[in-house]
Amino acid sequence: MELLNKKLSLMKEIYTLTKSLETVALNENYEELDALLDKRKNLMDQVDDIDKRIESGNYSFNSDKDFIKKEIQEQLAKIMEIDSKTKLLLSKKEREFRRKFSEIDVKIKTGNYDMTESEKKPKGYYLNTKS
């Protein structure tokens, strides 16, 4: 029973971190986003360890087991919902970044700067010596 309660408290912490991740992603603070993702990964690893201990051992659970498992599932559903929103937001930001980057790349390759027509024309003479 103690393991399930610990797992539930970890899931609540993960949920809180996930809400923070969504806010940080909206504010485009990517350094903080990385730190929060690392914290969340550590908490998820702890949940995985608890799951392994529950599966491997013979732990006696009382009648509250089903209630706690249901709460854990509800927390997981909330986390997954926020994660999908955050993933959608971040993929949108990534597409915007890639589009802007490709526009910059095209300007650099074509030399399409604010130049007058006379500045765009080549200067000097070209002699074809091969013919």
**Predicted pLDDT at 120:** 62
pTM value?
0.67
- pLDDT band for position 61 (50/70/90)? low
Query: In this predicted structure, which of 13-17, 50-54, 62-66, 70-74 has the lowest mean pLDDT?
Result: 62-66
Tokens for 90? 């971040």
Q: Smallest Cα–Cα separation from 78: which of 1, 13, 26?
A: 13
Q: Exposed, middle or buried by CB within 10 Å (0-12, 13-18, 19+), for 69?
A: middle
**Predicted pLDDT at 57:** 74
Task: Give whichever of 30-34, 58-62, 124-128 has the largest mean pLDDT.
Answer: 30-34
| pLDDT tens digits, 35-44 | 999 999 999 9
φ and ψ at 116, to 5 degrees?
Answer: -80, 165
How far apart are the C-alpha atoms of 48 and 38, rounded to whole Å?
15
Tokens for 54? 């529950």
| pLDDT tens digits, 62-79 | 667 788 888 989 999 999
Query: In this predicted structure, which of 54-68, 70-84, 91-105 has the lowest mean pLDDT?
Result: 54-68
How far apart are the C-alpha atoms of 69 and 49, rounded to whole Å?
16
Residue pair 112/106 in contact (Cβ under 8 Å)? The answer is: yes
